[in-house]
Structure 1
């Protein structure tokens, strides 16, 4: 089941077009990453998802309900931590959660369970004004999980968390997605965390989705991969030949190395052509296959 569907969404702020027509969907039980540089349109997209602003064109649906036309029904299925969690600093952590629990008709037992899940049981009765940023993030996550929402939206959720908190957060999100069938939409600058956590990831830049790709066993499945090649001599000859091959998208010399962006699975063909042209290969290896390399390819324009 598609929990979240974004179709043809565009958004202007003033005269500037921030989102230029994006299409996305997130399924039940899926953890979906949303990556891009500052100013790419991530926060604007998330603000539209939670109904804070409306798109100029296109539709956003949550569990089949249009966010703009059926806001109450759509957002009833959503839990969110957008930017800094909205909390009452003069109340305790428990009192903050109980305010939401009363609105959503959730029992004290469920609230206590969430408190233990996010690791706040020793400080839950303290005033929120005494909380660290990481503790506020934990409390915000607990608040977002009240009532088992169908869609959990998280904007920089590990901000302020120490390594232990990040690991705890990861387990809570994975458990919510896999055991409860919750769809998770997460925007983060920590690429390694997204790679560890997510099933799919979208790369957005300048308001346009550059690519949506799957992650398996912490490796991004891509149509392109990055290689580093070292030849004994005639680097310029090798570069000229490489640029003529159909499998090569980009080839540049960086000091003693040739850096390549190539079609996945084409390494053997490239080596064969080098040998046929009597170019001696000293070394060839694949570079990182993780999000960092893919991010550079899609958002930064290729290898540096």
Structure 2
């Protein structure tokens, strides 16, 4: 194993003349929670369906567990649990009975049912009809179904969709636990950066079928660039003085904006302007949020 559970090379899916997924090179590290992030319609579900062998790529290669998916489909898929779109279940049956049906089909020992119900915290509701479950409980039952075969890789497509805040928190905590407690690698897709930020160790951002960012989550967080806003008496004069000293500065109608600065830089800039007899009325530091970075990437289609 080279450290990656999933690797794709130039993975492409065409619908007519349009590439819904375009030359994707995914690298999902073993033991990670890999957040697959992008706006609705960016190509996330299409990519996941190709990884699960549900649709065939137009071009490119998929390796899972260091083996070619096309050549080793059955043996690879037997080690993957997945939840794509809404979980399916028999509403009139209990959660336990739903899992029993799956266990019988897969020839899995019945004791595993109690194990997965405990993992997803459904033990108390195990014998209650699923039609009376909340959305969060149904989603957890779907994850239990994905876990029953003791997979090495869990792929979840938008698992928080339609959930209330408590349901989202339940799913998030469950996902975070998987690699730590059971050594399972988790790939989870979402269009919500806040969700990925709360649980992922690594992130891949897809936009219009192209991968625009892929790395550890903290690398993305480090892209937060500070800007200093200054409201001054004479913005033209202050702009020239800072520009002449090499600062990256923009003259706005209501003040100056200086890019990519540290705390030490703030002190230098203020000192420079004061020594040059500039009146300073307001100094604010602004940092781009992760949301800003995500929106910039997905609006412009740029890569970091």
Give TM-score, length-normalised by structure 1. Answer: 0.83
Counterpart among 74, 77, 81 of residue 75 in structure 1: 77
**CA-to-partner distance for each residue in 1:208-251, whole Å, 9 max, x for gaps?**
111123234xx843345142412314446666888899885x95
Partner Cα separation in structure 2 for residue 260 and residue 189 of structure 1: 31
Cα distance in structure 1, aligned partners of 2:124 and 2:239: 62
* Count of residue pairs brought into register by the alignment: 295
Partner residue of 1:283? 283
Per the alignment, residue 200 of structure 2 pairs with 198
Does 2:124 match 1:127? no
Please give the alpha-carbon distance, in whole angstroms, between the structure 2 residues aligned to 1:50 and 1:66.
12
Q: Does 1:62 align with 2:61?
A: no
Q: Do the aligned residues in 1 keep the contact of 2:37 with 2:192 (CA within 8 Å)?
A: no
CA distance in structure 2 between the partners assigned to 1:232 and 1:83 by the alignment: 53
Q: Supply the distance in 1 between the matched residues of 2:128 and 2:271 (Cα, whole angstroms).
A: 70
CA distance in structure 1 between the aligned counterparts of 2:30 and 2:184, rounded to whole angstroms: 6
Distance 2:28 2:152 in 1: 11
Q: How does 1:132-211 map to 2 (within 5 A)?
A: 132-211=134-213
SS at match of 2:229: strand
Superposed displacement of residue 165, structure 1 = 2.7
1:210-225 mapped onto 2 (5 Å cutoff)? 210-216=212-218, 220-223=220-223, 225=225
The 2-side partners of 1:118 and 1:272 are apart by 54
- Residue 232 of structure 2 corresponds to 232
1:198/1:244 CA distance change after superposition, 3 Å? farther
Q: Is the 8 A contact 2:247 2:258 kept in 1?
A: no
Determine which structure has more spread, i.e. the larger CA radius of gyration.
2
Correspondence list, 1:100-119, <5 A: 100-119=102-121
1:188-211 per-position Cα deviation (integer Å, ceiling 9, x unaligned): 133222111011111111111111
RMSD across aligned C-alpha pairs, in angstroms? 3.1
Unaligned runs of 5+ in 1: none
Return closer, same or farther for 1:82/1:267 CA change in 2, 3 Å cut-off.
same
Deviations 1:151-210 (CA, angstroms, capped at 9, x unpaired) = 111111122333333333222222211122211111113322211101111111111111
Match of 1:49 in 2: 51
CA distance, structure 1, for counterparts of residue 112 and residue 44 of structure 2: 32
How big is the shift at 1:275? 5.9
Q: Could you tell me which residue of structure 2 aligns to residue 296 of structure 1? A: 295
The TM-score, its normalising length taken from structure 2, stands at 0.83
Q: How many angstroms apart in 1 are the aligned matches of 2:61 and 2:271?
A: 54
Indicate which of 19, 25, 28 corresponds to 2:27. 25
**After the TM superposition, which of the residue ranges 7-16 and 85-94 deviates more from structure 2?**
85-94
> Match of 2:151, SS?
coil
CA distance in 1, matches of 2:246, 2:70: 46
CA distance in 2, matches of 1:159, 1:2: 28
Q: Which runs of 5+ in 2 are unaligned?
A: none
Relative to structure 1, the CA distance from residue 247 to residue 24 in structure 2 (aligned partners, 3 Å threshold; closer, same or farther) is farther
Alpha-carbon distance in 2 for matches of 1:85, 1:176:
19
Residue matched to 1:38 = 40
